[in-house]
Chain A
């Protein structure tokens, strides 16, 4: 079973993606999509040797909702700065320590922070477990770090072991 389906989550995700892309849940699409999903997940096991474990799937939904709301808020905040006649945001770099080590959790955090217009994930240092972030409108550095830790990192630590 593990040899045929090394990454069940990835395969399931790919199958759903395929069906959405085809706009149909017909038997032919399910079979073809299933073959593709299994083939890709077997190929991916060369890059991702260890199985992906997600411990609390419902926390994932919470993470998506929290991140989505923050992205909307950040969009409106950055837009108000940019439509100002002389945009002069107080930007700054932040070097943030991360407790997170799991590569998938780090990737998700990077996607969230990059998709938020107010912040950009620049450079992750694996040796020291820190990440360099550029913040568009930085008011209070300590507060910003605490917000990211509380809102995203805590959830990601619960989801990924």
Chain B
């Protein structure tokens, strides 16, 4: 249990967990408090990059020491989260951009004049 851990390890692991949680919380605050949609998309990124990363790092260190073998499947979690975040982010952001442009809202860059759809030619 946690009382059997060496002191340096408890301090290290708790520091990582607390700092990671703090970053994630800052991101959540940002999600609630920031004014526009484009600002708010930056908040949760903190949870998925460094916030989550630090918590996973703490988990990897803790289980590596207590199980006395290398535990690194947290790396896979981090990899999957990092690789999939841009997909949802782009989906949300482009939907909002589209809507803002259709509604003619201010503060949004104009759609470029000529848009070529990069769709592959249909095979008949």
**What residues make up the interface of A, taking CB atoms closer than 8 Å to B?**
17, 20-21, 23, 71-72, 75, 78-79, 82-83, 87, 89, 91, 93, 95, 110-111, 114-123, 125-128, 130, 132, 134, 136
Contact = CB atoms under 8 A, between A and B. Distances in A.
Contact of B73 (A20, A79, A83): A20
Nearest to A17: B76
**Central interface residue in A126, A130, A136, by most chain B CB within 10 Å:** A136
A133 to B, nearest CB: 10
Contact of A87 (B33, B38, B73): B33
B71 interface: yes
Contacts of B33: 82, 87
Contacts of A89: 39
B115 interface: yes
B39 A123 contact: no
Main secondary structure of the interface of A (DSSP, over half): mixed
A115 B85 contact: yes
Interface in B9-29: 22-23, 26-27, 29
A118 B41 CA distance: 10
Given A17-B76, A78-B30, 8 more contacts: A75-B23, A75-B50, A79-B23, A114-B45, A115-B85, A116-B45, A120-B42, A136-B42
